[in-house]
Amino acid sequence: MTHTVASKNKSDLLQGTLDMLVLKALQLEPMHGWGITERIEQWSQKVLQVNQGSLYPALYRLQRQGWITSSWKTTENNRRARYYALTAAGRRQLAVEQESWDRLSEAVNLVMRMSTS
């Protein structure tokens, strides 16, 4: 539970990763901030825990870059919450990041599987 990605990393790689994860989480439907953390946690089988302190700045950043939009809606429990939704540009960005992530992880995997003996 204490193992969070955010608290142990400080490279700008993280930032890009968080942004990508947020975009991914929003791919299916608009969601509020808490929902996003839950979804990422759930999809990663609790390996990734989003530092909530990073989440909101990231949300505003993505919004400013025009990749997501937000609006206030009422939840099923009748509470007001800010919902975030992917824009068309956001979808394109997600595809871009997905692709570069695939390339990167593939490359890292290749390196790590090299037998060193």
Partner 1 sequence: MGILRDEARKLSGSLRQRTAEPELDEEIQFHIDMQTEKNQRLGMSPEEARRAALVRFGGTDRIKEEARDEYRSRPLEDFVQDLRYGVRSALGAPLFTLLAVLTLALGIGANAAVFGVVKSVLLDALPYADADRLVRVYAQKLDGTLKRSGVSAGAVGDFTARQRSFTHLTAFFNATADATFNSETGPRVLKLTLVGANFFQTLGVAPILGRTLSEADCATGARVMMLSYAAWRRELGGDPNVAGKTLRVNGNPWQVVGVLPRGFVGPMGDVDLWLPLDLGPTLRDPIHARRRHWLGLIGRLAPGATVEAAQRDFATISADLSREHPDSDAGLTTTTESLRDSMAGDTRTPLLVLMASAGLVLLITCANLAAAMLSRTLSRRQEFAVRVSLGAGRGRLVRQLLTESTLLAIAGGAAGLLLASLGLAVLRKLALPALPAYAALSLDRGAVLVTSLIALGTGIAFGVAPALSAGRTSTLREGARGASESRRTRRLRGALVAGQIALCVSLLAGAGLLARSLWAMATAPLGFDPDGVLAVTIQFGTHKYDDEKLAARFYDEVEERLRALPGVTAVATVSELPSPRMNSNGLGIEGVTWPAGEGQPFITYATVSDGYFRTLGIPLLRGRTFGPADRPDTPRAIVISQSMARRYWPKGNAIGARIRLGPNLEGPWSEVVGIVGYVRNDPARPEPEPMTYGSRRQEAWASAFLLRTKGDPLALLPPFRRELAAIDPDTAISKASPLRSYLAEGMAGRRLPVVLMTAFGLLALLLASVGVYAMFASMVAAREREFGLRVALGSTRQAIAGLVLRGGAAWMAAGLAAGAVGVVAVARLLRNLLYGVPPFDPIALGASVITLLACATVALLVPVRRAARVDPITVIRD
Interaction of residue 56 with partner 1, rule CB under 8 A: yes
CA distance 69 to 38: 19
Quickly count: other Cβ atoms within 10 Å of residue 59's Cβ: 21
Interaction of residue 33 with partner 1, rule CB under 8 A: yes
Site string for partner 1, 67-96 (x = CB under 8 A): -----x------xxxx--------------
Q: Report whether 20 contacts 97 (CB < 8 A).
A: yes
Place of tokens 């975009």: 23
Residues that bind partner 1 (CB under 8 A): 10, 12, 15, 32-34, 38, 51-53, 56-61, 63-65, 72, 79-82
